[in-house]
Amino acid sequence: MDHQAILKNNLSSYSSSKNDWWRGAVIYQIYPRSFQDHNGDGVGDLVGITQRLEYVCDLGVDAIWLSPFFTSPMKDFGYDVSNYRDVDPLFGSLRDFDQLLSKAHSLGLKVIIDQVISHTSDKHSWFEQSRMSAFNDYSDWYVWEDAKPDGTAPNNWLSIFGGPAWTWDTTREQYYLHNFLSEQPDLNFHNAEVRDALISEMRFWLERGVDGFRLDTVNFYFHSQSLKDNPSLDKEKINNTTAPSVNPYNFQNHIFDKSQPENIDFIKRIRNLLDEFPGTTSVGEIGDEQRQIELMAQYTSGDQHLHMAYTFDLLGGEFTPKHFSNSISSMKEQANDGWTCLAFSNHDVVRHVTRWAQHGLEDKFAKLAIALLLCMRGSVCIYQGEELGLSEADISFEDLVDPYGIKFWPRFKGRDGCRTPMVWQSLAHLGGFSNAKKSWLPIPADHLSKAVDLQEEQPNSVLNFYKEFIKFRKNHSSLKIGEIELLKAPEGIFAFKRFSQDASLICIFNMSEKEQVFEFPDDMKHEDINAPGSKKLNGERAVNLAPLETYIARSLEH
């Protein structure tokens, strides 16, 4: 393989300008309800986040991503927005946000905020007016359809949160579309006024100084106006990446209710808006179990679309070299000029330590996982608490608040288990998260033993390993913006090379729980490098890797 030719083709388009800070960046996701409670009501808030920004800065990350804090009835905990231009009183005020933004920027942190524009709350003024009649200024702002002659819904489309994607409204005497909760009606993107309004809402925050957007459910914006039924999906093709296995949403091939070609033009319009504010960025969440990589290629290729796309392929599946190799190969084949945002955990999925680690090996696994994530090609999202090696909390049914979990209990327990509050102090009330009598979700006792104050004092803690490896990544351009080449390796070992114009690194990971051996080819010259957690070879041609052990070397040819 001609590495120099690849570099010339791909790296030549990467600007060294500070405006490209997002490429290869490490982004820390904050779930505001659970980060830090300042006012003592048991729910995190913006002032609490501001108070903890030094901690985030000390991790060495480049940016924070704030999950929604906008005005909301909180049926889906902020992902049901009733006012795009204000802060919900639960989280504070616009002044609190401005202070958070200013503090973050003073620390060198960029601020990315969620934009949930595929749908609104049913309490948004737009929907309240739209449902009043079929003949008003907002009547066509949502997706309204008459019932079939027998009174049933217009088609067979399903909601991700269970049941039909249509709800009958007794005021308009029509059905409205909602891909999520019935309290989250879908906006009609086929209406130009809707598109104009949403661009205006986004401009409001850019003018306020935010550094970009994470675009929730970015492929759900448009629906097919044909309203054809979705066909069923062959059982062998069901992969349960967008919805849990107990959800019949997986049984359909979602050809008509999302991922429509009209989406491309609106994405271009978002990019044009962002280009008015140099240095801003975008990352789109793509939820499409059949077309993930294809859509990523469409949505991020070139310089007219989104900067990055955030997919589900590493938020599930098996922790095996095969799964990871397939993901990387698919990206290279279909979307090599696009850019991905990698993550193992977020606010919607079971924490990856629980998904993938064997009992008793959680901390060792957490270190291997972050080393692997930070060595792969793309930008990286770290979800709050994963840097502590937190496991999924086991929430009782009585304590559940997530409607998704309540709907599909007990086979699927919802998302509350990954959303429990951060633990700052092991001996403090509620782990230092709040001085309220009770937090909005319970804090597991085993999380307290992993609190920040304990791990900061332990040189070999998961937290300190995260800090060390983030710093290591920053010091190597090949890890931030370089290309990737998969290497042949024995079963259980995942190996690849990262290379840039400056240097080349060889990254080898034993993803299994037994000792493995990787032998370097005779023509692959290398030398040890001071990577966190990496063993030393001193020129040996074979690497004996203990379970979940890493070896990173500098290639002497690139």
Residue 193: what residue type? E
User: Which one is catalytic: 276, 303, 318, 502?
Assistant: 276
* Cα 16 to the center of its chain, rounded Å: 25
The residues facing 517 across adjacent strands are: 544
Position of tokens 């319009």? Answer: 269
3-class state of residue 400 by DSSP: coil
The contacts of residue 57 (CB under 8 Å, 6+ apart) are 107, 108, 109
Closest by alpha carbon to 550, among 341, 366, 377, 331? Answer: 366
Question: What is the DSSP track for 128-156?
Answer: HHHTT-SSSTTTTSB-EEPPPTTS--SS-
User: Which one is catalytic: 76, 122, 216, 392?
Assistant: 216
Position of tokens 């290591």? Answer: 472
- Residue 201, Cβ density class (10 Å: 0-12 exposed, 13-18 middle, ≥19 buried): middle
Q: Residues 187, 176: contact at Cβ < 8 Å?
A: no
* Cα 49 to the center of its chain, rounded Å: 19
Distance in angstroms (rounded) separating the CA atoms of residues 404 and 409: 8
Distance in angstroms (rounded) separating the CA atoms of residues 279 and 212: 8
Phi-psi group of 267: left, alpha or beta (phi > 0 → left; psi -120 to 50 → alpha; rest → beta): alpha
Distance in angstroms (rounded) separating the CA atoms of residues 227 and 175: 13
Is 145 annotated as catalytic?
no
Is 216 annotated as catalytic?
yes
Other Cβ atoms closer than 10 A to 352 = 26
For residue 406, the 8-state DSSP code is H
For residue 436, the 8-state DSSP code is S
Cα-Cα-Cα-Cα dihedral sign, residues 27, 30, 35, 36:
positive
3-class state of residue 85 by DSSP: strand
E-strand stretches of 129-232: 144-145, 166-169, 174-177, 212-215
Distance in angstroms (rounded) separating the CA atoms of residues 362 and 382: 17
* Cα 421 to the center of its chain, rounded Å: 18
Distance in angstroms (rounded) separating the CA atoms of residues 306 and 265: 11
Known catalytic residues are 216, 276
